[in-house]
Structure 1
Amino acid sequence: MKHGRQIVSSGSPLEPQIGFSRAVRVGGYVAVAGTAPIGDDGSTVAPGSVYGQTVRCLDIAERALQEAGASVEDVVRTRIMLTDVTQWKEAARAHGERFAAVRPVCTFVEVSRFIEADWLVEVEVDAVLDADSH
């Protein structure tokens, strides 16, 4: 970690081009960037399914948390961005399956669209580690 800053990369070629990281950890705070439902092959996972795409976003975010030394149990805030907020219950079902025991603060918001037209949801996650964890 340079100056107490750990950067987690997803390996996306867009990271250096845009100048962002999948996640950044500073001390006990971890922020995971807006995470889209992208498969390992670069394609959109679960086309047409808000639930399936939300699960994929949460899987990617959880992997980034782990690389930063955090876990789902450390999550204090999530943001769920949807292109159709009337579908919030499908995203909420995936969120509830992952965070029922943790119960972070959560915001659902509608956006006009994402970079790829078939992405229906993106997720952001913030975590705080216990003082003993860093």
Structure 2
Amino acid sequence: MSSRQNILSGSPWEDRVGYCRAVRIGNLIEVAGTVAIVDGETVRADDAYAQTKNIIERIAKVLEEAGASLSDVVRTRMFTTDISKFDDIGRAHGEFFRDIKPVTAMYEIRKLVAQEYLIEIEFTAVVA
């Protein structure tokens, strides 16, 4: 049986809710839904492109900690509160995944955990 590696981000929510940023079992890595760090300057509450880019850049580091990279991503699931931002979200996603081409889906949902978040992304990676 493969061992389990939990990758924690240090968020207080991990203990409170009972989750971690990512789990690796064998060659499979699942990454929890991740939102951007909205700082009001480089990543604003109204900028879906910057939020998407921020999420993917941060998850690249999580994958590295798990012994993988963005090139190992086989699926992304994107949840947005404003589907009219599709082009901005897709442009940022494409900058990272244009050549990798994981399967993906984008869903419009009513709300995320805080009003400033326009997008949340889940990732699945398989290390070859």
Relative to the length of structure 1, the TM-score reads 0.89
Secondary structure of 2:10's aligned partner: coil
1:28 corresponds to which letter in structure 2? N
Q: Which residue of 1 aligns with 2:10?
A: 11
Q: Is the 8 A contact 1:80 1:123 kept in 2?
A: yes
Q: Is the 8 A contact 1:35 1:60 kept in 2?
A: no
Q: Which residue of 2 aligns with 1:87?
A: 85
Q: Is the 8 A contact 1:4 1:26 kept in 2?
A: yes
Please give the root-mean-square deviation of Cα atoms over the aligned residues, in Å.
1.2
Secondary structure of 1:95's aligned partner: helix
1:18-37 aligned at under 5 Å gives the runs: 18-37=17-36
1:59-78 aligned at under 5 Å gives the runs: 59-78=57-76
Shift of 1:58: 0.8
Q: Is the 8 A contact 1:7 1:21 kept in 2?
A: yes
| 1:117 lines up with 2:115 in the alignment | yes
Q: Is the 8 A contact 1:23 1:32 kept in 2?
A: yes
Distance 2:44 2:98 in 1: 23
Distance 2:109 2:61 in 1: 25
User: Percent same amino acid at aligned positions?
Assistant: 40
Q: How many pairs does the alignment contain?
A: 125
Shift of 1:111: 0.8
Shift of 1:61: 1.4
Shift of 1:63: 1.2
Q: Which residue of 2 aligns with 1:38?
A: 37
Relative to the length of structure 2, the TM-score reads 0.93
Structure 1: runs of 5+ lacking an equivalent: none
Structure 2: runs of 5+ lacking an equivalent: none
Distance 2:31 2:11 in 1: 14
Report runs of 4+ in structure 1 exceeding 6 Å deviation: none
